[in-house]
Amino acid sequence: MAASKRVLLIISGGIAAYKCLELIRRLTDADIAVRCIMTKAAERFVTPLSVGALSRDTVYSDLFSLKDESEMGHIRLSREADLVVVAPATADIIAKMAAGLADDLATTTLVATDKPVLIAPAMNVAMWKHPATQRNIAQLREDGIALIGPETGELADGEYGTGRMSEPDAILQAIESRLGGPKVIGRDRFVGPGTALKGRRAIVTAGPTHEAIDPVRFIANRSSGKQGYAIAAALALAGAETILVTGPTDLAAPDGVTVVPVESARDMLAASTDSLPADIAICVAAVADWRVENETGAKLKKGATPPELKLIPNPDILAILAASRTRPALVIGFAAETERVVENAAEKRVRKGCDWMVANDVSPGTGTFGGDRNQVHLITADGAESWPSMSKTEVAEWLVARIVRTLGRKEDSTPGHGPTQIAGS
């Protein structure tokens, strides 16, 4: 193979298998050679013919085929790649992997491999939530297997929830990150896993907050948490010790991140300040601006007249972190705006005392809130720059790449380590 990196892609039998055709195309475009193994069930969703045509290689499927095994034994198949990727990873193959079963070419190769493994789960929401699947996922994480997704949204079977396989773009990015070798992103470099932010600690807030009205009712917002989770994942991938303080979401915990689930803005503030000191704080959460002052301990009764709710302001977590005695070296906020996006965000950066503000337009029609893509402007003391429209995963990688560059520069000029103020960054 002429390409410098090689991926062994194991396609298991789920409806998301069709997305693998696009993934293979993207991998070969990125000069990564792909060799494929298909399970018997996968062949019911996509044909080996299309997989072979796109990967420009033999497609392997049968452990007991004299042809497959004499051409390429399963041990060789498992060892010749730099990375093994299972996409889609069904509940069935995940269970087999967790148990170490080896009853076909795909699972035998997975047991035989000495290479890193990345899986992209895809299944129905109930199957994903099933305790057995969650047990198996926990086991795979413990075994050092990396995960990308699953994402939350409409599933192939029409249900809504977590279980959708990540898009080929996002899987490609996860693959490239794991294959190492610095990847050039914009003017920065997103350095491969586990290096650039090693020894750094980061706090990320994400998702909505829920503000109780009574024990059963609350005020919430439509934040999905996707952007914050993607940032936490990218920070962890770059080696930072990452604490994700998250309001209620349907998202799976990103690999290697400590997740602190909270409900209200006050819980989020407490969990964030408890996580100090840190080098980096990124407030992505859509914190409720107000909470109900007269929250009741008992469920409000439906009476003749509706109850009056008195709203009072919530604490501003970003401003508090930015003003704290142990202020992180880099404090970053997000500003969701519908008009004068850059101007409003620039004012907000100064008012809240943070170093950078990432501004985005959330007007109806942009699809940002809850969607997978984002178009942002990065506002620093030096001015504003507009980034192209890209996936939330890419926004996270660009941001982390910029953090690496900025903290690296700071490190060069500041002997020693630990949270320090970045002047004029």
Shortest Cβ 52–ligand C5P spacing (Å): 48
Q: Does 335 bind ligand C5P (CB under 6 A)?
A: yes
Q: State the catalytic residue, choosing from 124, 136, 221, 344.
A: 221
Kindly indicate which of the ranges 181-189, 314-322, 364-372, 400-408 contains the residues binding ligand C5P, using the contact rule CB under 6 A: 314-322
Q: Which is nearer to ligand C5P, 97 or 269 (CB)?
A: 269
Per the structure block, which two tokens stand in for 60? 């392997």
- 173 counts as binding ligand C5P under rule CB under 6 A: no
| Stretch (H or E) spanning 392 | helix 392-413
Angstrom distance (rounded) from CA 83 to CA 258? 25
Q: Are 228 and 209 in contact (CB under 8 A)?
A: no
CA distance 253 to 244: 9
Name the strand (E) or helix (H) holding 201.
strand 201-206
**Shortest gap between Cβ of 316 and ligand C5P (angstroms)?**
4
Q: From CA 354, how far away is CA 330, in angstroms rounded? A: 8
243 lies in the site for ligand C5P, by CB under 6 A: no
Specify the residue, 238 or 345, whose C-beta has the smaller distance to ligand C5P: 345
Work out whether 23 is an interface residue with ligand C5P (CB under 6 A). Answer: no
The interface with ligand C5P within residues 364-393 (CB under 6 A) comprises none
Residues 337-356 that bind ligand C5P (CB under 6 A): 348
Catalytic-residue membership of 221 = yes
Q: How far apart are CA 356 and CA 395, in angstroms?
A: 14
Distances (CA, A) of 51 to 9, 37, 83, 120, 195: 10, 9, 18, 18, 34
Phi, psi of 272 (to 5 degrees): -75, -45
Nearer to ligand C5P, 106 or 317 (CB): 317
Confirm or reject binding of residue 333 to ligand C5P (CB under 6 A): yes
The site for ligand C5P, by CB under 6 A, has a size of 14
Looking up tokens 């509940």, which residue turns up? 91
265 binds ligand C5P (CB under 6 A): yes
Of the pair 314, 374, the CB lying nearest ligand C5P is at: 314
**Among 35-43, 277-285, 375-383, 396-404, the segment contacting ligand C5P (CB under 6 A):** 277-285
Please answer whether residues 189 and 173 qualify as being in contact, where contact means their C-beta atoms are separated by less than 8 angstroms: no
Q: Which of 89, 90, 239, 244 is nearest to 177 (CA)?
A: 239
Minimum CB–partner distance for residue 198 and ligand C5P (Å) = 26
User: Quick one: tokens of 422?
Assistant: 């970045």
Binding site for ligand C5P (CB under 6 A): 205, 265, 283-285, 287, 314, 316-318, 333-335, 348
Catalytic site residues? 221
